[in-house]
Structure 1
């Protein structure tokens, strides 16, 4: 029989057992997610989203570094990932962005997060990450004086915004920004983030300008594909003829913009019919049609490392040839770029034709076929569909959040 003192001790011990905090429960869920993705936990398999008619695609094949892991990670993300979008900030520089032309990706993502009902939560305590909904493209449009090279106004807005959310909410200070993310396709995205040290060092920066020489850190930052939709729609920009109807070895057209393009034009402009390299297209010649007639599409960096030609080449099923320095291609965590693209060093531009001619025909055919496979990951759907570019961007953020452990202060 238990004596009175023993019963009192048990009651006291029971009262000392602390309930886990909301953050601790959230982190525990993420720990189980990490284990599941790594094949250590199997009990979640019965509760994963089931495929339906619209979402019956299962990643497989050489276009992925690890197709099975990517598949399980994506489904787990759909099951549990929650994003809180800060409400502070007003249009036009917050909560919206350009939805056509060179900054299509930036604007479409921001606007989709505004209306999302699947991943967005209005309870910040259940969020895994916190989105800073400012548009660098809009800041440049409204705050930058053309040719002034003065970014102080943008600096002040970004710094003030982080100060506002840090003073009003507990979440930024709790993690020093490590579970927060921003997104920008403007060249000034990295610069805008550099105005707040914790934003630059700790937060997840989703950037088209994924330049490691300018501070891009692929272990915490994510590379964003640059998609240039002139009308904002995908009309006539997906698909192309079979390899047998592609008579041009390689093609590029673009203005003189940075050192790499200068070298490319110096060596190949008007030098060879097989490599059609133009600064300005001849009158009446269609850029899109030349991409469709080419086996390889050259994607040299401009002053910044990103180029919309990478996604254009994927859309038109023209094997992209990446010519860049310090560039991390989009979704490199899960996509095996060497399986569907060619990467050429700048020093090898003089040998470009030989490099491409030396690629065996069967290898080229495999790469070209894989472009059809990988297209879905770069397409902007309205509304979004599983594995499209919106979900791929979120998955990049999800993977980086899995690498972070946040604790109560």
Structure 2
């Protein structure tokens, strides 16, 4: 892949909606990828005839900021902007029409990314969509779409986020703190909110307790879905070398083409939320040690670097697109 894969970035569109995105906050992975494709040369080609895939550099996050009217009941302005963009590149270039969009890709970490793509049926059906909201019940197709990790970079940097004490020094069995967003978290709070000293679940963390300290001193970190399937807590756990406990429905995990999540995380079905303590206590010390070691091993695949380094988040995302492009066979005439 590193030797041959080439990506063409369409030059149409103007900042801030195009060629730009947030590099901090919960949507940081969207902006980081867009900006790296804009300034980097590792995979980018300026010759569209040499490209294997074509990247449409729009930011749904920025569209929401500039185009969405607070309190409105629809996102037509965002959807129509994407539709107009696809129409522009399809009229100006031959590449969209010759493949019906199947060798094109978009990337979005905003919850509205999947739905906004539906304003262009070929984009929704054919194109590679790299999405944080990788929900199969909402049309995410893992054969052609790729999951994007959600990473909350509050300062834009990962300084101080990586690492933690060894397992022998982690005094908390399991931890979660976050808002009551969605039915899965409602169930979690009903069962565990501030009820058990081993399963430390908070809707609002007490002011004297550090969130980062809790992550780094817990053996397991609970990662329930909120309103949407993706949660930044998955990567927060991996950064803190805490074994993630995944609680979701219909969620396709990032990089699951190459990473076996069962080796370094625990999957708890929604109906088993009441059995979390029993499940975690049933994991032997030897098995836990192996899982925690593997969390440390896979950590580099979720790290954001500037500039990117081999095997980091950027390279893993490019590899995910590469794999889906390999599944595509275009006619010779295309």
Instruction: Please indicate, yes or no, whether the TM-score normalized by the shorter chain is above 0.5.
Output: yes
- The TM-score bracket by the shorter chain reads over 0.9
Q: What secondary structure is seen at the aligned counterpart in 2 of 1:80?
A: coil
Tell me the distance in 1 between the aligned counterparts of 2:73 and 2:317: 30
Q: Deviation at 1:147? A: 2.1
| Counterpart for residue 154 of structure 1 | 78
Q: Distance in 1 between matches of 2:232 and 2:183?
A: 17
The answer for the alignment partner of 2:88 in structure 1 is 164
Q: Which residue of 2 aligns with 1:74?
A: none
Matches within 5 A, 1:84-103: 84-103=8-27
Unmatched segments (≥5 aa) in structure 1 = 1-76
Structure 2: gaps (5+ residues): none
The alpha carbon displacement at 1:235 in A equals 1.2
Q: Which residue does the alignment assign to 2:235?
A: 311
Residues in 1 aligned to 2:303 and 2:216: alpha-carbon distance in whole angstroms: 18
Match of 1:292 in 2: 216
Q: How does 1:29-40 map to 2 (within 5 A)?
A: none
C-alpha deviation, 1:78, in angstroms: 0.2
Q: CA RMSD in A?
A: 0.6
Taking the aligned partners of 1:326 and 1:191, their CA distance within structure 2 comes to 16
Map 1:174-185 onto structure 2 (within 5 A): 174-185=98-109
Counterpart for residue 382 of structure 1: 306
Alignment of 1:344 with 2:275, yes or no, is: no
The structure with the largest alpha-carbon Rg is 1
TM-score by length of structure 1 reads 0.81
1:356 to 260, 280, 284: 280
Which digits, 9 at most, give the CA deviation of each residue in 1:323-360, with x for residues without a partner?
00000110000001000000100000011100000011
Name the CA distance, whole Å, in 2 between partners of 1:381 and 1:149.
38
- Residue 245 of structure 1 is aligned with which of 157, 169, 183? 169
| Aligned mate of 2:178, from 221, 243, 254 | 254
Provide the rounded CA distance (Å) in 2 between the counterparts of 1:346 and 1:276: 18
Q: Counterpart in 1 of 2:188?
A: 264
Aligned length: 333
How far apart are 1:148 and its partner, in Å?
1.2
Following superposition, the deviation at residue 149 of structure 1 comes to: 2.5
Q: Distance in 1 between matches of 2:330 and 2:61?
A: 31
Moved over 4 A (4+): none
TM-score w.r.t. structure 2 length?
Answer: 0.99
Deviation string, structure 1 residues 16-71 (Cα, Å, up to 9, x no partner): xxxxxxxxxxxxxxxxxxxxxxxxxxxxxxxxxxxxxxxxxxxxxxxxxxxxxxxx
Which among 314, 317, 327 is matched to residue 403 of structure 1? 327
Q: 1:146 deviation in Å?
A: 1.3
C-alpha separation between the residues in 2 aligned to 1:372 and 1:276?
Answer: 23
